[in-house]
Structure 1
Amino acid sequence: MHDNPQSPFALPDHRLIALSGRDAAAFAQAQFMSEINALAPGSWQWSGWLTPKGRVIALFALLKFDDESLWLLLPDADPVPLAAALQRFVFRSKVTISVRDDLRVEGTFGAPSRASGNAFAGAPEGGVELDFSAEGGSRTLRILPASTASHDPVWAARWAAFDLEHGLPRLPSAQSDHWTPQQLSLERLNAFSVKKGCYPGQEIVARTHFLGKVKRGLALVEGSAALRAGDDLRAAGEPLGHLVASADDGERHLALAVVPLEREAKALQAGGVDVRESPLREGLSR
């Protein structure tokens, strides 16, 4: 492991889908849960694709170069089946959906040189820089045609742990299609809209919001040993919630759990491991 957090390291689990063509932005507006029409060119936002029942299929950062060119940066989801699933909804739209396996993603725990907030820097052909900073430190993510960044699993795990600390659920495939945006507390990331027009799952999302039926959300827990997404979270021996994402950076064992918003403070365990709840950090919304 290199000792300099500002040295770039590979993020091989981050992959790209490109939308291009006359109707690219219109297609994204109709399919994804964030407000793409209001996103300025040269900006990015958190977004996602839902099932008709309002369950999250995939989360991603959506980059808008212009109305005819958008990228989906997927931190976890496999882009190949996702692109194929999206293709089934193209119909007569003038949009091309392609997996960009020619691009590489790297990260550093250092301040970006040009990007700031939700404004990214660069262009598709030469590389793009994004500001992934938040409370607790600076981070820079770069998408490049070629990268010499080291494959360092420890630093990549620290990146994932930072995501979890700030409420970005790094969902394994087993957790896809299970949770609504509200259950994943994605309002903290400004990742979905309840006011835009129709998109898959929009009716469920809006009804839950406007009828005040949000009863579960994310909690950050830290264990005395490694935690595993998929395990139940128990309070004083009784079922309380479900671990949906986990990260182990060698020093901390973190997980995000979907739990009742109203709950009593009790001793917690997950998978036989003692855990304690910690507050989620702010600043990763875009």
Structure 2
Amino acid sequence: MNNWNEYLSSRGARLAQDGSGHVPDFGQSLGVADLAPGFVAPVTDQGLIAVTGDDAAGFLHNQLTNDVEHLGPAEARLAGYCTPKGRLQATFLMWRSSESVFLQLARELQPALQKRLSMFVLRAKAKLADVGTGQVLLGIGGAAAEGTLTPLFGALPPTPYSRIDHPLGTLIRVADAFGSARYQWLTTPAAAQMAWPALAAALRPAGTDAWRLAEIHAGVPQITLRTQEQFVPQMVNLELLGGVNFKKGCYPGQEIVARSQYLGKLKRRTALAAIDAPAQAGDEVFAVDDPDQPCGMIVNSAPNGSGGVDALVEMKLAALEQGDMRLGSASGVPLRLLPMPYALDALDL
């Protein structure tokens, strides 16, 4: 156990028993009402790859769904990495410094994805490295987030997917949730430990489960091990979030992604739902009026403080319009659709 985890444990954090350093919560599951006033969460399920070298941006531009070559130093973007058949192998939050492009992704995917991307570097002047070790990622959100961070940083990133570099680390404003701005702060354990007392005094201490719940309510999907190669980007709304650039050059799966966008109406989307039962990514859902085959799959889920989960669920638009979906089978626990933070085509969800 490292000093940061020991510090969090002394402040009430519950650490995973597998020695991974994962911090799911601070002793209890929190819901939207608990988090909306303001929260701070160690985010312990993310990995970070730095791609460095003269050709780093060009190399990634030819691999990912979004424009990397024109990624500005004051912004962040979502992106996906697809198979040749257009299915997502990973989703990233990416940003760049003067030396490197950074790719944040689910930690469980990082070793294999980093190895796979490295195989395609070939003669490009680009090198991939794991740079997550020794850094701390904090997620801060809710109504009190801005007022709590301003004394530490001064000016904050002004809009979603903008960022600043600061002596205290990198601060990125990500998609809003619960009606307020959210930020992720990448810093050193020493800086995090220095700031924690003030943060925890003003904000509700929470764990990674709470940050996942906030991501879900922001409508932001993340591919994990259980959902690799299940979805074309549009199925999880990635292009609605600015994670796909349809004007850039080719990348693996580009033709299929473009065809899904321009040839015919999209038939599948991801929506937000509450489920009064445990559920996890990769679990199937069924429409009551079509019980013989699944109509969709859970993309991400997180405990919602009420014994169940809130989830992003990919499914057929026809099932969304019909509205009666169940977990696991047509006789399973019902899904209760919740409002999405952005429009899904012509659907009012």
Aligned to 2:322: 265
Q: Distance in 1 between matches of 2:285 and 2:259?
A: 28
Q: Which residue of the partner structure matches residue 207 of structure 1?
A: 259
Measure, in 2, the Cα distance between the counterparts of 1:133 and 1:166. 6
**Residue matched to 1:122:** 165
Q: Match for 1:276 among 336, 339, 344? A: 336
Higher deviation after alignment, 199-208 or 140-149: 140-149
Hey, what's the Cα distance between the residues in 2 that align with 1:178 and 1:121? 34
- Local SS of the residue matching 1:225: coil
For the Cα contact (< 8 Å) 2:285–2:298, is it kept in 1?
Answer: yes
Q: Does 1:52 align with 2:109?
A: no
Match of 2:153 in 1: none
For the structure 1 residues 133 and 260, does the alpha-carbon distance in structure 2 shift closer, same or farther, using more than 3 Å as the test? closer
- Between the aligned partners of 2:174 and 2:336, the Cα distance in structure 1 is 26
* Separation (CA, whole Å) in 2 of partners of 1:48 and 1:249: 27
Report whether the alignment pairs 1:160 with 2:188.
Answer: no
Quickly say closer, same or farther: Cα 1:133–1:231, change in 2 above 3 A. Answer: closer
Cα gap change, 1:7/1:187 in structure 2, threshold over 3 Å: closer, same or farther?
closer
Query: Where in structure 2 are the equivalents of 1:123-272 lying within 5 Å?
Result: 127-135=169-177, 136-146=179-189, 147-148=192-193, 154-236=206-288, 238=291, 239-251=294-306, 253-263=309-319, 264-271=321-328, 272=332
Note the 1:3-42 alignment, pairs <5 A: 6=38, 8-42=40-74
Q: Could you list the runs of 5+ residues in structure 2 that have no partner in the other structure?
A: 1-25, 28-33, 151-155, 198-203, 344-349
| More displaced 10-residue stretch of structure 1: 95-104 or 252-261 | 252-261
Structure 1 residue 276 displacement after superposition: 1.1
CA deviations on 1:28-76 (whole Å, 9 max, x unpaired) are 111111012232222111112111111111111110224x411111145
Q: Which 4+ stretches in 1 moved above 3 angstroms?
A: 1-8, 152-155
Partner of 2:239, secondary structure, is helix
Letter in 2 for 1:243: I
**Letter aligned with residue 118 of structure 2:** Q
C-alpha distance in 2 between matches for 1:95 and 1:126:
27
Structure 1 length-normalised TM: 0.88
Aligned-pair Cα RMSD in Å: 2.6
Match of 2:130 among 83, 89, 99: 99
User: How many pairs are equivalent?
Assistant: 281
Matching of residue 72 in structure 1 with residue 103 in structure 2: yes
Cα drift, residue 178 of structure 1? 1.4
The CA distance in 2 between the partners of 1:13 and 1:248, in whole Å, is: 15
AA partner of residue 122 (structure 1)? D
Contact 1:20–1:97 (Cα < 8 Å) also in 2:
yes
Distance 2:283 2:106 in 1: 21
Superposition deviation, residue 265 in structure 1: 2.4
Which has the larger displacement, 114-123 or 157-166?
114-123
Tell me which moved more, 83-92 or 109-118: 109-118
Q: 2:325 and 2:338 mapped to 1: Cα distance?
A: 12
Structure ranking higher in helix proportion: 2
